[in-house]
Amino acid sequence: MSQPPGQQQPPQGGFGAPYDPPPGSYPPPAAPPQPAGPYGQQQPAGPYGQQQPGPYGNQPGPYGNQPPQGFGYGYPPQQQQPQPGYGGPTQPPLPGGPSGGGRFRGRAGILIGGLLAVVLLAGGGIWLATGDDGKPAAKGGGHSSAPPAPSPSPTGGNGKGKETISPAAETAAVNAKRKPGESKLLWLQKAGVDLPELGEDVYGPWFAGDTVVTAMYHTVTGYSIADGSLKWTLRLPTNACAAPTLPTDDGKLVLGIEHSTAADAFCDNLQMVDLTTGKAGWRKAYVRDGAWDGLSDLAMAINGDTVTVGRTSRTDAFRVSDGKVLFGKLPGNCQPFGFASGPVAIAAASCQTAADDHKEHLVQRIDPATGKVQWTYKVKKGWQVAQIYSADPLVISLKGEKKWGILVLNADGTYRSQLSGGPGDYAPKCDKDQRTQGSNLDSCVGVAAGADTFYMATGAVDIKTGTANKVAAFDLSTGKYAWSVTSPADQPLTPLRTEGGKLLMYLAPARNKGGGIASVPSTGGEVDMVLRHPAAASDIERAFFGPHIFYVDGRSFLTHSRISGTDDDEIEQRSMAVFGD
């Protein structure tokens, strides 16, 4: 998002209170230029944003009049919600702006994603996005070009004459070169699966007791958090195609799976899995009826013992424990199209006012067991809910035609503030940027929220020694920009979550420099390293495409958001890396 949020404070009052952002405010991200660094070029902006010429005139604002879970990714899926972590901070934002409302990727998105993924690196990586000149804007994934040192002995081949190194041997080699102050590489896992040529999305990780779980293709796998040993693996009847951000508190998850193994199979089945034991539970199909439903991407969420599957025209809700249908299409022409996972069920709803129109949007709190609406905030006409950045405190990303805004609500659904100012060029990334299937509302990386402060990462800024980025903080009560910190050269920072009065962030790796977990006080100040990953693991760390990053009990977990399927290299590709002391 190339410009800062708007700067005028809307009055409180009835639904759709008037608000006009400054000329040129809220444009969606432009197609990324060919970057000079990992985030692309910084667009000029002052502390509150140099006002750009107003190509769109004064746009009507989203904020009319009218609960709890924060999405700082990097936290275990318990009562405090993680920011659903994925999206490598070294990847540039994709063009197109925040998605919402129609959420049309679904079958069309699979085809588009497949076409993009055809442009592959020989080493198994993926070119991600293109600049104005059509050249790749950034790359990620693939194997490291430099072998670890000391070099362990090869342990076999991949069937094509290529020698391979076991994850255990590579872990030992990295730790042998560990420097003072660096953490250990505790364990690595490899994908171990021969994928289709266009690759597959990776869902998770989810945490259940002493087990960390991921799902990819037709397999769900649980590993020991302590040492990475395989605890269980479950073969799904068909491919995974969607998944909630969080499981239930007792470790149950419901995955979206395709209804058959045919290449054109729809994502219209659900499969419950016990993440503690790896046992499959109930399986249920649901109907996707009509063009809106069939073309919509799925937004899944778990709230208590309810799993919801949202699409543009409706949401279906099922009881996680036994698969019982709880509710489907609700009365009236306004239907929720997605929820955010967590104890409180916050939903975005769209209202069909014509056969081809779902552009009137609402934010609602809904009882997940009955579908009863508990409160409603009406978004002003011309604006749509794009994402739920946080559900506690409640922070909503809104989009309009060539405009963007961030709304803050109180827990009772009344207006609190709107964000304004800061360094600009904000760059949150969501499911639509990294995956071909599934687009949850609570999926964004690069944002985090505490009780009184919201944090958001920017794209690249030029500094004397290279490129960096900033993390900006906003006062949620006023919406005003408060302060920012700048990352080290070529190592952008990404907000994860808040803990103990501090913001935890992921520091991306650079060549010969390890990444890690950093912190800064919620009032601003110096950035301190909490966990410094070893420099000897920088090639391993940099190879993770759109990584999901979680910091749990002193350990950092990295997984991919998608793995390509080129020349069988994906079988040996590292699928999870865990660091700690």
Could you give the C-alpha distances from 274 to 222, 251, 325, in angstroms and in order?
10, 6, 19
Summarised one tens digit per residue, pLDDT across range 320-356 is 999 999 999 999 999 999 999 999 999 999 998 776 6
Among 361-365, 435-439, 522-526, which stretch is predicted with the lowest mean pLDDT?
Answer: 435-439
Residues 6+ apart with CB under 8 A from 497: 70, 72, 73, 74, 75, 80, 82, 83, 448, 503, 504, 551
pLDDT at site 355? 64
546-553 average pLDDT score: 92
Between 160 and 95, whose confidence is greater? 160
Q: Please report which confidence band the pLDDT of residue 99 belongs to, taking 50, 70 and 90 as the band edges.
A: very low
Quick one: average pLDDT of 124-139?
30
How large is the average pLDDT for residues 238-261?
A: 96
pLDDT digits (tens, 9 = 90+) for 475-510: 999 999 999 999 999 999 999 999 999 999 999 999
Average pLDDT over residues 290-304: 82
What is the overall mean pLDDT for the chain? Answer: 77
The residue ranking higher by pLDDT, 581 or 163, is 581
- Strand intervals (E) in 419-501: 447-449, 453-463, 466-475, 481-486, 493-499
pLDDT for the residue numbered 416 = 98
Given this model, what pLDDT does residue 313 score? 83
478 vs 149 pLDDT, higher one: 478
Asked if residue 274 has pLDDT above 80, the reply is yes
Q: What is residue 106's predicted lDDT score, i.e. its pLDDT?
A: 39
pLDDT higher than 50, residue 88: no
Lowest mean pLDDT: which of 136-140, 151-155, 370-374, 466-470?
A: 136-140
pLDDT at 292: 63
3 state SS of 305: coil
Residue 15 has pLDDT above 70, yes or no: no
Q: What is the pTM of this model?
A: 0.75
Banded pLDDT at 162 (limits 50, 70, 90): low
Q: Where are the alpha helices (DSSP H) in 214-256?
A: none
For the chain, give every domain's residue range: 106-580
Answer whether residue 362 shows pLDDT above 90: yes
Predicted confidence at residue 356, as pLDDT, reads: 64
Task: Identify whether the C-beta of residue 72 lies closer than 8 Å to the C-beta of residue 431.
Answer: no
Domain covering 106-580, topology: Methylamine Dehydrogenase; Chain H (2.130.10)
- Mean pLDDT on 93-105: 38
pLDDT at 381: 86
What would the pLDDT profile of 167-216 be if each residue is shown by its tens digit?
999 999 999 999 999 999 999 999 888 888 788 899 999 999 999 999 99
How far CA 169 is from CA of 154, 217, 577, in Å, comes to 9, 27, 14
